[in-house]
Structure 1
């Protein structure tokens, strides 16, 4: 896993430990996302840990 950055485009499918603090929570089609500029993240839970996967825009 890598830390998130908004300086460059992040490839879809990339898993990150943390997202930038300026992200906005969005629910689309019943799925929770974090929207950070042009990048969309979907939370992924493993036990008590959370990471985020870069996904395509739900719109």
Structure 2
């Protein structure tokens, strides 16, 4: 038996506190997003802490 990791997409609107290492910054209409594999995240600051909101791919 081999061990594997199954990745599932987080629900739109979910909040995550850290991102995978394969992310890149993409700016669309002046808004910065993190694009990680097939997921898109928009950073939101709460005080000095950053949270990432799962969003649909920007157009």
Q: Do the two structures share a fold, i.e. TM-score over 0.5?
A: yes
Per the TM alignment, residue 9 of structure 1 is displaced from its structure 2 partner at its CA by: 1.2
Superposition CA RMSD, Å: 1.2
> Structure 1: where are the runs of 5+ without partners?
1-5
> Structure 2: where are the runs of 5+ without partners?
1-5
Aligned positions, number = 54
Moved over 4 A (4+): none
Per the TM alignment, residue 44 of structure 1 is displaced from its structure 2 partner at its CA by: 0.6
Is residue 2:13 matched to residue 1:13?
yes
Per the TM alignment, residue 37 of structure 1 is displaced from its structure 2 partner at its CA by: 1.1
Query: Could you say what secondary structure the match of 2:20 adopts?
Result: coil
Bigger Rg, which one:
2
TM-score by length of 1: 0.86
